[in-house]
Amino acid sequence: WTLKDTKGRTVKLSDFRGKVVILDFWDTWCPPCRKEIPGFIKLQEAYGGKGLQVIGAAIGQEGEAAVKKFAAEWKMNYPVVLAEPGVVREYGGIRSIPTTFVIDITGRARAMHVGYVDASTFEREVLALLPEG
């Protein structure tokens, strides 16, 4: 898929082949989503240079402007895109948020979590998938 992020840049999932990707479907009004974001920010800081890319895919029920404002206020250090209906369908029609996928370097989803998950769980999964070195 190809989507625009909150800064107007084009984000293609295929551009991140060779990286471990945490793809988080979330929204601005969702308390467990908000609880996860600081952990994603820390993971991106710690492992972004080692082959991790976090992507936030906002469902955007409150609109694009609310998502942009939220991403700026929370200082989200990873791309935040608006998840179009086709992308949501691609991932099984997300029924509950947060729903988060951990995707390996070949583009295969290796884990899926529905609901709040602490950063240490994501960190373990990411470390197991990151190339050594």
Domains for the chain: give ranges and CATH numbers: 18-129 (3.40.30.10)
Q: What is the mean pLDDT of each run of 10 residues along the chain (133 residues)?
A: 91 93 97 98 98 96 94 98 86 90 96 97 97 70
pLDDT at residue 6 in the model = 92
pLDDT at residue 42 in the model = 98
| Contact in structure between 87 and 23 (CB atoms under 8 Å) | no
Q: Which two tokens stand for residue 42?
A: 């820390």
Closest-CA residue to 68 (of 13, 4, 12)? 4
pLDDT at residue 1 in the model = 86
Q: Which two tokens stand for residue 72?
A: 């700026």
Burial of 27-65, coded b for 16+ CB within 10 Å and e otherwise, reads bbebeebbebbebbbebbeebeeebbbbbbbbbbeeeee
Q: Which two tokens stand for residue 116?
A: 């709040």
